[in-house]
Amino acid sequence: MVNIEGIDKAELLVELYNNAIKLGLGVLQPDVKLTVEDARELLEKHPVFDYLNGKVLKVDLSSDKEFDETLYDHDNGLGTAQFVVDTIRIKNAMDKAIRVDNNGDIHILDENKFNDIIKNLLSHESMVVLLSDKLMNTGYKNFYVIFLEDISYFNSRVEDCVRSKHSLDNLNMSFLTFNFSYVFSKDFYKQTLHNRKFITELFCTYANKAKETLIPLLNDGRMNQEQYNFFVNDLDKNIAYLEKLNQMFDEMSSTIHVVDNEKIEVKDENKLYELLDYPDGADYVNNYIVAGMKSPSFEVIHDCDYIFHLLGDIIDFLHIDIWQKETANALIGSLLAHLHSHSYDYVDIPSNISEFLVKLCVHYFELLKLKIDNLFNTNQISNDAYQAIIGNMDNLLASIQVNNDRIVR
């Protein structure tokens, strides 16, 4: 028997119908959508169903507490009835815990119910579909589908390890790693404040649950302390990454303003350079700017990615204080290859954004020249390396400025 207490039987009938198959001559009948209103009318007439629109049901829904799933499961698959009921309960719990308003903002209505969803229902196979459907009105359903599928897959790997009777080896541990992709941060920055908070709480709640899940493996010796620390540190790194994304967003929102695709307003230039000097700061600023654009073309994204990646390399180079000649020449060679391997073109970037990027390039190229001059004057790099990188920097900057002048005109 399947317990159905607290479930709307009209909704239950609809979901049983949607998950049922057609048998025999039923396959010849046209597909008919069953609404909750239709189901309610049918239940008022008779609560026992054999076939409905060609689909095999064989259920008696006269009780408000339970129903016998034996015949339904016989034709529709073992466990299907329980799956339907579990799915309805998850959906109902979501409706009480999460709301998406008309602006696409996600609101957590009940922290306890939200935590229960993540802790107890995350491994349910319909969780990703239901929650991503719930978040459809945010306008970023695909982003949430990928995000939730990653967590769901990761969760299943953790549970597989818990159920296993074997000790964990390095291969097992490699499956227990989770990393947000570079693309994730771009989509994350497109979310509203409510939605960024939701994503952060969702992952942090899950991460804490995952840590607790593996404690029995540590206690019974199937996972040693080093492996457990590896797993926990991996989750903590992702939590720290999310927190950093939020921190950088807040700081950038008070420093840079992107107006559609046409204009970048810098409110505090010194603060912008400070943000760029953070570890991976160029990536954060790039993602924030691209996220602020409305439907940027592939070319715009590619060019922004390139210039900020180059700036990131230059900034890393500028931060090195202790030099050896071999190290300096190797780094110069790497930077030179980066400068030499791209023919830079701003053809598709709007003029104001192009001017903004040129200004950044000029600023950091000037700092790089001072650094290279100092290394050369103290005999830490060769004359050939010095001439090569200075020449390539001048050529690249001239190319950027020519393209920028063409766009502005």
pLDDT of residue 271: 92
Q: Are residues 104 and 192 in the same domain?
A: yes
Q: Is the pLDDT of residue 165 over 70?
A: no
Q: Is the pLDDT of residue 125 over 90?
A: no
Number of residues written out for the chain? 409
Q: Which domain holds residue 53?
A: 2-78
Q: Are residues 39 and 123 in the same domain?
A: no
**Residue 400 domain flag:** yes
Six-digit token string for 129:
């579909």
Question: How far is Cα 88 from Cα 33, in angstroms, rounded to an integer?
Answer: 18
Q: What is the mean pLDDT of residues 241-261?
A: 84
Q: Lowest-pLDDT range, 95-109, 130-144, 337-351, 387-401?
A: 337-351
Angle at which helices 298-319 and 281-292 pack, to 10 degrees? 160
Question: How far is Cα 319 from Cα 324, in angstroms, rounded to an integer?
Answer: 15
Higher pLDDT, 294 or 9: 9
Six-digit token string for 275:
């943000």
Q: Are residues 141 and 211 in the same domain?
A: yes
**Residue 93 domain flag:** no
pLDDT of residue 293: 80
pLDDT tens-digit profile of 23-66? 877 667 788 898 999 999 999 988 999 988 889 889 999 999 99
Q: Are residues 109 and 228 in the same domain?
A: yes
Q: Specify the 3-state DSSP secondary structure of 99.
A: strand
- Candidates 141, 15, 132, 121; CA nearest to 69 is 15
The chain-wide mean pLDDT, for the chain, equals 78
pLDDT of residue 215: 85
Confidence at 348, pLDDT banded by 50, 70, 90: low
Q: Are residues 43 and 138 in the same domain?
A: no
**Residue 89 domain flag:** no
* Dihedrals phi, psi of 257, to nearest 5 degrees: -130, 125
Task: State how far the alpha carbon of 368 is from the alpha carbons of 84, 277, 360, in Å.
Answer: 63, 14, 12
**Residue 129 domain flag:** yes
Question: How far is Cα 223 from Cα 206, in angstroms, rounded to an integer?
Answer: 20
Question: How far is Cα 117 from Cα 111, in angstroms, rounded to an integer?
Answer: 10
Q: Lowest-pLDDT range, 73-87, 104-118, 148-162, 372-386?
A: 148-162
Q: Are residues 170 and 69 in the same domain?
A: no
**Residue 279 domain flag:** no
pLDDT tens-digit profile of 319-344? 776 555 555 556 666 665 655 554 44
Q: Are residues 311 and 357 in the same domain?
A: yes
Q: Are residues 236 and 168 in the same domain?
A: yes
* Residue at a domain's end among 78, 112, 140: 78
Q: Are residues 207 and 154 in the same domain?
A: yes
Q: Is the pLDDT of residue 359 over 60?
A: yes
Question: How far is Cα 338 from Cα 371, in angstroms, rounded to an integer?
Answer: 17
pLDDT of residue 36: 92
Q: Is the pLDDT of residue 398 over 80?
A: no
DSSP state for residue 256 in the 8-state scheme: E
Q: How many domains, the chain?
A: 3
**Residue 220 domain flag:** yes
**Residue 280 domain flag:** no
Q: Are residues 41 and 67 in the same domain?
A: yes
pLDDT tens-digit profile of 178-215? 666 555 677 777 777 778 888 888 788 778 877 887 78
Question: How far is Cα 137 from Cα 103, in angstroms, rounded to an integer?
Answer: 8
The answer for 292, left when phi > 0, alpha when psi is -120 to 50, beta otherwise, is: alpha
Higher pLDDT, 385 or 277: 277
Q: Is the pLDDT of residue 9 over 90?
A: yes
Q: What is the mean pLDDT of residues 12-18?
A: 92
Q: Is the pLDDT of residue 277 over 80?
A: yes
**Residue 92 domain flag:** no
Let me know: does 187 contact 145? Beta carbons within 8 Å: no
Q: Are residues 126 and 73 in the same domain?
A: no
Q: Are residues 45 and 138 in the same domain?
A: no
Question: How far is Cα 352 from Cα 135, in angstroms, rounded to an integer?
Answer: 35
Question: Which contiguous run of DSSP H or E holds residue 108?
Answer: strand 106-108
